[in-house]
Amino acid sequence: MEQAFSRKAALKTIVLLAWPTVVEQILQTAVQYVDSAMVGRLGAHATAAVGATTTVNWLVGSSISALSIGFLAYISRELGAKHPENAKRATAQATLITLITGILFTILALSLSGRIPRWMHAGEDILHDASVYFFILYTPMLFRCANIIFGTCLRAAGDTRTPLFVNTGVNLINIVLNYLLIYPTRSVSLLGLSMTMPGAGLGVSGAAIASAIAFVFGGLGMTVMVFRHPTISPRGYSMRPDGSILRPCMKVAIPCALQRFGTSFGYVAFASMINALGTTAIAAHSIANTAESAFYIPGYGMQTAAATLAGNCYGARDPHRMKRICRMMILLEVILMTLSGAALLVSATMLMKVFTSDAAVIALGATVLRMVAVTEPIYGIAVILEGIFQGVGDTRSTFVFNLIGMWGVRILGTFICLNIFGLGLTAAWACMIAHNIILGALLSVRFIRGRWNPLNRNNAAESF
């Protein structure tokens, strides 16, 4: 009976913590769908202009997220150990890191905005639009950093609802501004009534402006909510560098940042090789990535819950709860990602048609989506194990495994397939799938061996 109750309690804890993050991921993906569909209606040229720098956007965003992982691990651990004052001090240090990274990334991105699309092998026909889009999108980087880092701090405190509410507002603003800024003034029909919809007709630039304004709202909103939060508010705490907090945070964050940077740079190299295949391949790759993103929502939605709960268990020094939570998270992840992969498999063509009317793009994109659909459960296992390892501070192993998979399998394999054998996008996606399978296998072996777990007496040296 006690075991049954424990399982019920564990399931309830997981669901309460995970559902807002899953819903938030769904809403963000829905906005990506709307963005891609609205830009896609402008033609393959516009889609390619936006897609040419998408992987650089991932590189920057994932690097910032990686820095926040150190604070997630620290805050969740301290709250699990019943040390709320340390959690508040950590949030003050997170504020300092937000200011530094926000200003640094703004300067770097804006100064390189004219060069990055060219480095990504964007064609001359889309070079100008891609550069303008990138410049506008990265102007409010300070606010984007605040949204990411403070959102992670809130989730580390078990508050996943506040980031959901803030980012729901961000998404609504983005959609409304898209309608007003992308298209020119036009007549629309609603419930049989014809009305004039005002519009700026800015095209790709309009999409970038809409996203930039939404980022500002999100950064301001998340900052206000963190400073008002009863558990982790940094009010009254110094933002001067505190080594006793920054050292353990950076011990977790730096390997994670190197991992994200290395893998994201791999995405850049991967996309750069695909960009050389031409506009159809670029558009199909960009749209297929957006379409697939909806189907790994369960993975990334559960990852945050896994990291937070693993950190709590570590702080509370509760190995039995750690084992129970981890096993249940993995089981739930496999079930959800199996259902998700099946849905992607049967809806691939329909999804591509949502974003574009170009027959060649639809056919190519649907093919690669069906390929990746069958491996979604394996990818889900990799995602959830990364979250567990991050929560207890084991980011070195994920760093090594991700680099092996990305550079040793995906990039090398794609280079050989495209440049030596002259194959196309389907071969590149096959290499991506092989990368995901190998990553899942490596992480699973480490999990089974137990060396990731600092509560294991033999692994005490691997703790923070």
User: By three-state DSSP, how is residue 199 classified?
Assistant: strand
| Domain-wise residue ranges, the chain | 2-462
| Res 95 pLDDT > 90 | yes
User: By three-state DSSP, how is residue 362 classified?
Assistant: helix
| DSSP H/E element including 251 | helix 243-275
pLDDT at 6: 64
pLDDT at 32: 65
| Res 4 pLDDT > 50 | no
Crossing angle for the helix pair 127-138 and 54-80, to the nearest 10 degrees = 20
pLDDT digits (tens, 9 = 90+) for 278-331: 889 988 998 898 888 778 777 787 888 888 888 888 888 888 888 888 988 899
Q: How many CB atoms lie within 10 A of CB 21?
A: 23
Q: How many CB atoms lie within 10 A of CB 337?
A: 25
- Under 8 Å between Cβ of 80 and 13: no
Buried b (16+ CB within 10 A) or exposed e, 56-79: bbbbbbbbbbbbbbbbbbbbbbbb
User: By three-state DSSP, how is residue 78 classified?
Assistant: helix
- Residue 313 tokens read as 């268990």
- Under 8 Å between Cβ of 273 and 432: no
Q: Is 239 exposed, middle or buried (0-12, 13-18, 19+ CB in 10 A)?
A: middle
Q: Which of 107, 110, 152, 108 is nearest to 133 (CA)?
A: 110
pLDDT digits (tens, 9 = 90+) for 47-63: 888 877 877 887 788 78
pLDDT at 2: 41
Q: How many CB atoms lie within 10 A of CB 320?
A: 10
pTM for this structure? Answer: 0.76
Q: Give the angle subtended at the CA of 109 by the CAs of 108 and 114, to the nearest 5°.
A: 115
pLDDT at 420: 94
- Residue 108 tokens read as 């770097």
Instruction: Return the residue matching tokens 């031409």.
Output: 278
